[in-house]
């Protein structure tokens, strides 16, 4: 790829709200195919849509480190040793610092590579039911305080706090609204539109889906969704009833418990906490 294509690929990923890492060779020592200034882009799904570091071996060895910096949001410098077979075998038998990578190849040089993460602004999508909703209002305010981009899907909201975007004509099947894997979605439909909304969400691979409802309504919704073919995996991953249990009573406390849960999921590697609090005993 030509250097002038670099900003084009960057902009495409940013527009699609895809997290990615730019890995740039800062310095080399000895014989290496990659030179200072060579760079690649690594996406969250381990694709490399731009660039080269001089070969597939050093590029593939960076993938675990790229995933780490995407998760933490912190840049990192790594040192890649391009070793001949005998030296690579010796490296396998000693403790290696976590910022060192040893790759078996013919070059024999060393590359210092800077990994810089680019994560889209966290986006919270709230699905409302219309009219005045104090929890919805408090949730918008809390999310914006935490730096989230807030999008409200609501046909007739009455608001004290303004989200970044209000969409009043989104279909219940969400066919005219684009969701991204990194989105967190909070459903505040109060029962009226739970099923079509949740069924639509089940077809996406979202970071977080939470439903504000009583335990009885959650149980009924899950049974109905299951009968409509929604997978057990999605039903188990959905946070319902929503929020961390802090004994919340007021709208502000409820919003705090919801955002606490959203943040916890976003900070947890591979979403291992997903749906942990969503199971309802029969």
Chain centroid, CA 268 distance in Å: 10
Long-range contacts of 158-162 (CB under 8 A, 24+ apart): 158/131, 158/132, 158/133, 161/137
| List of domains in the chain | 3-118 (no CATH), 123-271 (3.40.50.720)
Q: Both ends of the chain: CA-CA distance in Å?
A: 57
* Six token digits for residue 199: 């069924």
* Six token digits for residue 237: 């991953």
Mean pLDDT for the stretch of residues 175-188: 92
pLDDT in tens, 156-166: 999 999 999 99
Whether 282 shows a pLDDT value over 50: the answer reads: no
Q: Which pLDDT score is estimated for 281?
A: 34
pLDDT in tens, 38-73: 999 999 889 999 999 987 677 888 999 999 998 888
d(CA 177, CA 126): 13
HEC string of 177-217 equals CCCCCCCEEEECCCCCCHHHHHHHHCCCCCCEEEECCCHHH
DSSP annotation of 77 reads: E
Dihedral angle, C-alpha 154, 173, 16, 129, nearest 10 ° = 20
């Amino acid at each position: 790829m030509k250097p002038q294509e670099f900003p084009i690929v960057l902009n495409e990923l940013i527009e699609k709200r895809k997290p990615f890492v730019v890995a740039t060779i800062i310095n080399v020592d000895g014989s290496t195919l990659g030179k200072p200034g060579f760079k690649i882009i690594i996406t969250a799904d381990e694709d490399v849509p731009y660039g080269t570091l001089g070969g597939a071996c050093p590029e593939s060895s960076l993938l675990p480190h790229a995933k780490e910096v995407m998760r933490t949001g912190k840049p990192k410098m790594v040192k890649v040793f391009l070793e001949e077979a005998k030296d690579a075998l010796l490296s396998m038998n000693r403790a290696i610092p976590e910022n060192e990578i040893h790759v078996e190849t013919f070059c024999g040089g060393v590359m210092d590579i800077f990994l810089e993460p680019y994560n889209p602004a966290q986006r919270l999508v709230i699905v409302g039911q219309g009219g005045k909703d104090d929890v919805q209002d408090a949730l918008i305010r809390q999310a914006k305080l935490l730096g989230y981009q807030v999008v409200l899907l609501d046909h007739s909201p009455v608001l004290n706090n303004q989200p970044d975007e209000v969409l009043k004509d989104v279909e219940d099947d969400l066919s005219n609204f684009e969701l991204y894997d990194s989105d967190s979605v909070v459903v505040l439909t109060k029962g009226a539109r739970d099923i079509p909304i949740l069924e639509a969400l089940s077809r996406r691979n979202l970071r977080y889906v939470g439903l504000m409802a009583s335990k009885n309504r959650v149980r009924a919704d899950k049974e109905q969704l299951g009968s409509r073919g929604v997978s057990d995996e999605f039903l188990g991953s959905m946070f319902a009833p929503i929020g961390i249990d802090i004994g919340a009573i007021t709208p502000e406390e409820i919003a705090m418990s919801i955002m606490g849960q959203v943040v916890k999921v976003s900070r947890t590697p591979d979403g291992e906490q997903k749906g942990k609090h969503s199971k309802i005993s029969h």
